[in-house]
C-alpha cells in the first residue's frame, strides 16, 4: 500500500534533528561504531526487535503453558527427551521450544543439556490467574489476526461475546457464569493487594463493592479491615456464585448480597464507600455516567467512591495499559481503557469532588481514583 498524500490535511512539520538522525541509515551505521552512542543504538535496536517479535514470544509462552512444560519442571530439571515425550512433541521441536523458553528467561539451560525452571518461570506459575489469562489469549489473538481490519472496525471480534455479562444480562448458563467469575476472581488477589496499598479504608464504616463478582475483593478487604461492614452488588447470576467463596473466606455473615443491574436498578443505600473494581473499563461512557450517577445517589454526604482498574497513561502513554488493555477493551467493543484523568472527568460530571488519581505500583494490575460526595 502506498502512502496517500495529506489531502485536505495540514502537512506535518519537518522532523527535528534527533528524528532525522534516528531515521538515517547512515547515522545508524555510524552510531553503531561510536562508543557511548553504540550502547544507545544497541538498546534501541533490541527494543525495536522486541516489538517486532512480541507475538512470537507470546505464542512460545502459550505453548510452554499449554504443554505444561513449566508445570513439569516444578519438580526439577528434565532432559529434552522426557519433556518431549510428556508433551507428545518431536524431540527436535521440543528442543527449539525449550531453547526459546530459556532465551525468554523462563527456563535455565543446564550444561548437561537438561532444562530447569528459572525464577521468572517459577514466578509466572505463582502469580494468581496468570496461567488462566495466558490460556484465554487465543481468543484475543484471533481477533487481532488482521490488525488493519480490526482498527478500521471491520471485524466481528470474538471477545465481544466472551464476557457475556458485559451486555448486562449475565450468562444464561450458570457454568459459563461461574467460569468467567473464576477467571476474574483468580486475578483479583493482586488487584486487591495493590488497591489496599493505595487506599486507606481505616475510617470507613460500610463498603459496598458494585460489580463485585463472586466476592474476591471483599474477602481481601474483610481480612484487612475486620470491623468493616460489607456488601456485594452484581447481576443475579453472578451473585449466586458468591456464597461459596464468602463461606470459604469465613465471611458469609459479614457480607450483604444484593442482586440487580446497575444499568436499571438503584444501588442499595447505607454504605459510606462504594468500590468499582475493574468495572468501568467494560462499559461505554454513557453506561459509566449512569452508573456513577447511581453511586452518587446511593452515598451519603462525605461518602467516597473508589474506582480501580488498569488505566491508560493518558498524556504519558503506558507500555502495558495503552497496548494490551486498550486493544483488549477495543476488541470487547463495549468499553474503553480510560486514563485517570478521564475517569476523574466522569466522576466530576457525576457531581463528585475531592477527586484524586492514585497511579498504581503496577499499572498493568491497577491504578485507582477516589472521590467524595460533597
Ligand X SMILES: C[S@@+](CC[C@H](N)C(=O)[O-])C[C@H]1O[C@@H](n2cnc3c(N)ncnc32)[C@H](O)[C@@H]1O
Among 143, 194, 234, 322, binds ligand X (CB under 6 A): 234
Among 61, 198, 204, 216, binds ligand X (CB under 6 A): 216
| Rounded least distance, CB 261 to ligand X, Å | 4
Among 168, 243, 290, 345, binds ligand X (CB under 6 A): 168
| Rounded least distance, CB 307 to ligand X, Å | 11
| Rounded least distance, CB 335 to ligand X, Å | 9
Q: Is 221 in the site for ligand X (CB under 6 A)?
A: no
Residues 237-276, mask of contacts with ligand X (x by CB under 6 A):
-x----------------------xxx-------------
**Rounded Cα gap, residues 129 and 253, in angstroms:** 27
| Cβ nearer to ligand X, comparing 22 with 297 | 297
Cβ neighbours of residue 344 under 8 Å, at least 6 residues apart? 355, 357, 369, 371
Among 272, 282, 322, 342, binds ligand X (CB under 6 A): 282
Q: Is 331 in the site for ligand X (CB under 6 A)?
A: no
* Contact status, residue 101 vs residue 60, Cβ threshold 8 Å: yes
| Cβ nearer to ligand X, comparing 68 with 258 | 258
Residues within window 77-106 making contact with ligand X, judged by CB under 6 A: none
Comparing every residue's Cβ against ligand X, the nearest one is 211
Residues within window 105-164 making contact with ligand X, judged by CB under 6 A: none
Strand pairing category for 107-109 and 255-259: unpaired
Residues within window 175-214 making contact with ligand X, judged by CB under 6 A: 184-185, 188, 191, 211-213
Cβ neighbours of residue 347 under 8 Å, at least 6 residues apart? 292, 305, 307, 355, 369, 371
| Rounded least distance, CB 17 to ligand X, Å | 46
| Rounded least distance, CB 268 to ligand X, Å | 12
Helix (H, G, I), strand (E, B) or coil at 160: helix
Beta strand residue intervals within the chain, DSSP E: 107-109, 115-117, 206-210, 229-234, 255-259, 273-277, 304-309, 352-358, 367-373
Cell 502459550 -> residue: 62
| Rounded least distance, CB 139 to ligand X, Å | 15
| Cβ nearer to ligand X, comparing 124 with 220 | 220
**Rounded Cα gap, residues 345 and 371, in angstroms:** 11
Q: Is 328 in the site for ligand X (CB under 6 A)?
A: no
Among 114, 245, 278, 373, binds ligand X (CB under 6 A): 278
Q: Is 217 in the site for ligand X (CB under 6 A)?
A: yes
* Contact status, residue 290 vs residue 263, Cβ threshold 8 Å: yes
Cβ neighbours of residue 331 under 8 Å, at least 6 residues apart? 140, 143, 144, 150, 157, 159, 160
Among 69, 222, 277, 307, binds ligand X (CB under 6 A): 277
Helix (H, G, I), strand (E, B) or coil at 372: strand
Helix (H, G, I), strand (E, B) or coil at 125: helix
| Cβ nearer to ligand X, comparing 102 with 183 | 183
| Rounded least distance, CB 315 to ligand X, Å | 26
| Cβ nearer to ligand X, comparing 144 with 295 | 295
| Rounded least distance, CB 72 to ligand X, Å | 30
89 vs 11, 65, 97, 129, 324, CA distance in Å? Answer: 54, 14, 10, 26, 30
Q: 50 exposed, middle or buried (CB, 10 Å; 0-12, 13-18, 19+)? A: exposed
| Rounded least distance, CB 141 to ligand X, Å | 20
Q: Is 279 in the site for ligand X (CB under 6 A)?
A: yes
Closest CA to 339 of 359, 366, 319, 311: 311
Residues linked to residue 326 through DSSP beta bridges, in sequence order: none
Sites of contact with ligand X (CB under 6 A): 165-166, 168, 184-185, 188, 191, 211-213, 216-217, 234-235, 238, 261-263, 277-279, 282
Amino acid at each position: 500500500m502506498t502512502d496517500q498524500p495529506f489531502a485536505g490535511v495540514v502537512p506535518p512539520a519537518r522532523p527535528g534533528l534527533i528524528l532525522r538522525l534516528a531515521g538515517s541509515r547512515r547515522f545508524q551505521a555510524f552510531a553503531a561504531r561510536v562508543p557511548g552512542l553504540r550502547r544507545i543504538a544497541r538498546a534501541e535496536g533490541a527494543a525495536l526487535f522486541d516489538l517486532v517479535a512480541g507475538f512470537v514470544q507470546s505464542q512460545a509462552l502459550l505453548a510452554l503453558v499449554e504443554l505444561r512444560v513449566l508445570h513439569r519442571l516444578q519438580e526439577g530439571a528434565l532432559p529434552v527427551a522426557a519433556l518431549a515425550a510428556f508433551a507428545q512433541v518431536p524431540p527436535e521441536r521440543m528442543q527449539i521450544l525449550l531453547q526459546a523458553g530459556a532465551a525468554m528467561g523462563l527456563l535455565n539451560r543446564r550444561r548437561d543439556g537438561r532444562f530447569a525452571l528459572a525464577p521468572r518461570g517459577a514466578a509466572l506459575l505463582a502469580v494468581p490467574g496468570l496461567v488462566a489469562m495466558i490460556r484465554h489469549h487465543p481468543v484475543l489473538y484471533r481477533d487481532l489476526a488482521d490488525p488493519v481490519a480490526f482498527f478500521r472496525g471491520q471485524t466481528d471480534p470474538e471477545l465481544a461475546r466472551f464476557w457475556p455479562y458485559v451486555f448486562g444480562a449475565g450468562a444464561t448458563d450458570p457454568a459459563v457464569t461461574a467460569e468467567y467469575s473464576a477467571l476474574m476472581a483468580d486475578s483479583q488477589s493482586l488487584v486487591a493487594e495493590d488497591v489496599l496499598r493505595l487506599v486507606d479504608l481505616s475510617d470507613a464504616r460500610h463498603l459496598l463493592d458494585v460489580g463485585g463478582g463472586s466476592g474476591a475483593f471483599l474477602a481481601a478487604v474483610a481480612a484487612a479491615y475486620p470491623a468493616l461492614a460489607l456488601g456485594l452488588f452484581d447481576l443475579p447470576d453472578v451473585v449466586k456464585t458468591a456464597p461459596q467463596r464468602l463461606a470459604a473466606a469465613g465471611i458469609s455473615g459479614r457480607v450483604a448480597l444484593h442482586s440487580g443491574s446497575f444499568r436499571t436498578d438503584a444501588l442499595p443505600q447505607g454504605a459510606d464507600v462504594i468500590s468499582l473494581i475493574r468495572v468501568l473499563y467494560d462499559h461505554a461512557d454513557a453506561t459509566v455516567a449512569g452508573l456513577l450517577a447511581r453511586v452518587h445517589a446511593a452515598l451519603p454526604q462525605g461518602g467516597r467512591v473508589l474506582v480501580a482498574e488498569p488505566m491508560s497513561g493518558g498524556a504519558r502513554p503506558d507500555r502495558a495499559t495503552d497496548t494490551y488493555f486498550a486493544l483488549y477493551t477495543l476488541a470487547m467493543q463495549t468499553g474503553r481503557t480510560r486514563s485517570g484523568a478521564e475517569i476523574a472527568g466522569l466522576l466530576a460530571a457525576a457531581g463528585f469532588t475531592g477527586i484524586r488519581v492514585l497511579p498504581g505500583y503496577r499499572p498493568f494490575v491497577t491504578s485507582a481514583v477516589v472521590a467524595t460526595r460533597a
